[in-house]
Structures are given as C-alpha cells and as structure tokens.
Amino acid sequence: MTDDLRFIFFPSGFDKYGYLGVCLDKDSKYFNALYPLVLAMDYEAKPKWCPRWFLRFLHVYGNYRSIVRVRNWTLHSLFKKLTKGIMFIDWKTKWYDYDLRISVNAPQHLQDLADDIEYGFANRGRQQELVREIHMIDPDAPIIWGSIKRLEEQLNKIKNKAVDL
C-alpha cells in the first residue's frame, strides 16, 4: 500500500511514466534508446488537463500496475479512455545485446518510431561489433562508419589478407 502511494504521489525518476507500463533503469544502456519513445508516448497518451499522478492512480487501482490484470473495471475503462489505450507492452533483447525488440500499443506513428529505434539500435550495434573484429585483426585499419555491408566487406578483405600472409 505504501509503495503504491509512493508510486502515485512521489514517483522517483522514471516512475512518473509508470502509467504507460514501462519499467526501465536509468543506468541501463537501453535507456537512451527507449527514452524518446517513452516521451512521445507520454505526449500522446496524457491529456493536457490530466495530471500524471491521476493516471498513475488509475494504473494502480484499475490495473494492479499490470498490463494484463484488471482490479476495477470502472477505473480500468476510464484509464483506457484517458490514455487512448496507449501502453508500453515490453522491450527485450533477442540473440545479441543490440537486437532490441519493442512492443507497444500505440498509433502508427509511434509504432514507426519504435521500429526505427529497433533498426537504428541494431544497426549501430552490428557496426560496433564489426569494428571490434576489424581492430582485433588490424588495429590500424581505417574505419568508415555508416554501412554494415561496407564494414563486412572490409572485414572479409582483412581476413583474406591475413590468410594470404
């Protein structure tokens, strides 16, 4: 009960967006990637006249702070109506730490933003991985960032050159 009241009226840091269903640690390397999406979702979901503490209240007492359970259907329905059903469902990494997957219930432009964040995060992560591999073989190799294909070709050339020696 006291944790719920603290969450509603005295949120610490990122908890002020807790009504969206997002839980994210500020120290996580994924924070900077997901924060713009959370801000955009907050802008779309929160009515201008409605304080966040009230949305957090509805999230706690209408939804049990859950994206699947309902505690009170009246409060749950009001919460859904006020937030237009916008919710941050989940985020996770799959096979690699840069393979970010984001699930949101939101309008198409927010879905597109989530897709772009996923693509950009994966693209930068793969480029960093390739550059590490290139520098392990040839620490002095010049790097031109921007294209995974170019870096893969450069890595293959360096590997072939190393095999020929």
Largest separation between any pair of C-alpha atoms in the chain: 74
Segment 103-129 shows an average pLDDT of 93
- Cite the beta strand spans of the chain per DSSP E: 87-93, 100-105
Query: What is d(CA 106, CA 88) in angstroms, rounded to the nearest whole number?
Result: 8
Q: What is the pLDDT of residue 117?
A: 93
Interval 62-111: pLDDT, tens: 998 888 889 999 999 999 999 999 999 988 887 777 788 999 999 999 99
- If one counts the domains in the chain, the total is 1
Q: Band of the pLDDT at 51, cuts 50, 70, 90?
A: very high
Q: Which two tokens stand for residue 117?
A: 């964040």
Domain of residue 71 covers 2-164
Q: What is the pLDDT of residue 165?
A: 62
Segment 128-149 shows an average pLDDT of 90
Segment 118-141 shows an average pLDDT of 90
How many residues are recorded in the chain? 165
